[in-house]
Structure 1
């Protein structure tokens, strides 16, 4: 693997910088090992070092990643993100037993003995933050992870948890992983998911807790695949079709024309140009799609441009 060259951020507890573009793993498959390895090789060659996984994504992708790391001998050069304790058909699974079981199964699939960051995939407000943090700190003490994070938690619960950790001598959450994108969802894409709106963004600006965004490019909303009269993708219609988002797309295209890029790269740049540390989890299916996202790293945005894209400045104010 080449020496990291992508822009990066620091996350407490992780010994190396974390690439601002994080490779997703849902498209990986042990049954398509050649294609999976080609994509991972391309990401590594670009200088990327962070890969997002989750127990609920299934065994095949994690096993493909584990096999690739074993064959390349590059585990120590990577930042692996694992997620666990996702609810099942019976409801929440926010117990130490479930966290441990998901962790052990994930480590077995990945052919490693630790993940760098372990996140809880959902919250369970019925469980106290004390119980949750004490459980996660047990995994830290067992050296099965180096840092802990939350995915799809409210910022109020995050703040409560980190205040508890500080008061009780525990390690708190080092990062948060909600959805953050230029296109704002009308409703959660999946049940229990959290998207960062104005209040969440304001909290991150105050706390400076790193945010790792999933669906950072809004499921391809800015690629040109969608239009107000194109209704064949029911999920996209349900989640992203709104007059405000069509205006965001129009502005992204306008700014892209000026900057010599495309609207999808503008949308990615929006996520990466916040006033607090951010990373974008991306889901390219092949090296060609990866290269398009990498080009988004070269797109600079001013604070005024980001506000204009997000409709916080009037249309006639073109930054």
Structure 2
């Protein structure tokens, strides 16, 4: 009896370990078929570019993916096959259409789907500052990194000696002058990421939640509301982005944080040390006061669109 009990406990422990690592059982001989259509009328889109990533367990603790590409036929269809996997990611774009993407966990070896593309719209007055186009942060004030800097005191963070960098939509730079900034993080009191966004009293911020987005907040929720803005907002973790009313009270923008939180330490150049807490972000706004925040660019790498969290 004790031997059987030991075996049972071993099996239970193994299952718990599997669940902790998030391992998914791979399915074999996978067929993916799909159709790319126009969002407005459902008509098929011919010669649409499609990128398909099939994720599989490379080892007990590591997942990898196989990539395949396709072009849709005269009826908008595509078809690809994979040897094994447990998750299928698909993105597509076409001439004069914005990209769209879909993430799918496999429960069987066949996946059929329809992906709808919106037509590209010109929006020449839109101003943009994207972290994906700026490279990695190198300390420049024109890199979109909203942060709080805390200086140390004898190797202990001194929360009485900190700075918060706000964002100025007019100059597109980060600034310590929050009076002339549109939004910034409230100062922190513990060695934790900042969780409160503050704005200029003449402006405000309004969240866009996960359940309001089907693919990418960059390409969706394109019309800024004119009401409902708050000058202080506590992050919940369920936000995909934010509408922003800028400090002039008439300019509207969209703020999109990257998923990851930055927590880095650096020497201050004077023999001291500081830590910075914050988030990289993407930003777009209309200089002319329009609420139209439609991002018009369809020229995007589809693999990056699928796997790069910065392209929310």
Task: Identify whether the pair has TM-score above 0.5, normalized to the shorter chain.
Answer: no
Q: Please identify the structure whose Cα radius of gyration is greater.
A: 2
> Under a length normalisation based on structure 1, what TM-score does the superposition of the two structures give?
0.26
> Under a length normalisation based on structure 2, what TM-score does the superposition of the two structures give?
0.26
Which is strand-richer, 1 or 2? Answer: 2
